[in-house]
Amino acid sequence: METFLQGLFWFVPVALLGGFIGYWVARRAARASTRVALPDDMHQRDALLRAMTLLVRSTDKLTSDVDVHIHELEDACRQLGELHVTGEFAPIQAALLSQIARILESNRHLEDDLICTRYKLHQQAAELDRTRQEARTDSLTGVGNRKAFDEHLTFLLAQFHNERTPFVLVLVDVDNFKEINDSYGHRAGDQVVRELGEILRHSVRDSDLVARYGGDEFAILFANIDEPTAHSVTDRIRQQLESHAILWDDDVEHLSTTCSIGLSGVRNDDTHDTLLQRADQALYRAKHAGRNRVTVYSD
């Protein structure tokens, strides 16, 4: 009896202090999470998203710890309540039960606060991630934009220089695009670009990136692949576009078109410019060889 009561006398103040500190931290986190503003600068947004992800993980762990603590207190309260004490110990037992009840109430409030905080943090992180994706997405086609392409190419080049992981850059350009705009109007041209983007997006793996590089030009970054494999994949893309009927004008009329494709694999000491120049030269050769073909760069 005495050992158990002595342990509780140590346990209660420590639990009270821990509950107070945790409750204060959760309150501050909840208020701070509602004040977070989305910065315009992309690097700040990314840094904020990483910090918020860590905060979400910390809040998840704290919520779990509080839940465990509540169960431990409930067990201690049950054991203490089952003791049959008399005399001078009876008031002590009643006081301890009252203290534990107050701690449990505080912890339950803390748990509710943490759940609300965690929910708000998840919402804020999702909003940050959404704006991050929007900033890297082409609004017409839904594929990556030039910024997404530049960032991913930087990553693949660094990975290649560090780990020798190969990749291939592909440039895809609609044939006779100006004639489509002149003959059918810019709405038809937009539809051609939109549907080519859709074909490209469904023709690559999750590890690859499709981006709209210019008006009617797309870029594909094939990760961990060689030139012959990239040639095979892109030629299937070319064939698919060639046989694809593009509907426009309320789906009443349709038109067909083709594309030319140039590609080059990464080489030692490549930079953005050197790799892009080779892929662009391959695309130029495909155009001048008659269009509607895939050309691999060769010296």
Catalytic amino acids? 216
3-state secondary structure of 261: strand
Q: Where are the alpha helices (DSSP H) in 83-145?
A: 89-135
Structure tokens at 22: 């945790």
DSSP secondary structure letter of residue 136: T
* Rounded-to-integer distance, Cα 1 and Cα 84, Å: 10
Record the tokens describing residue 45, joined without a space. 């947004």
Cα 56-62-67 angle, rounded to 5 deg: 130
Greatest CA span in the chain, whole angstroms? 105
Residue 226 φ then ψ, to 5° = -105, 170
Strands 294-296 vs 259-265: parallel, antiparallel or unpaired: parallel
Q: Is the dihedral of CA 191, 194, 198, 199 positive or negative?
A: positive
Which residue's structure tokens are 């983007």? Answer: 197
Calpha distance 279→265 (Å, rounded)? 8
What are the structure tokens assigned to 193, written together? 């670009």
Helix runs in the chain, H state only: 2-35, 42-82, 89-135, 146-163, 177-184, 186-201, 227-242, 272-288
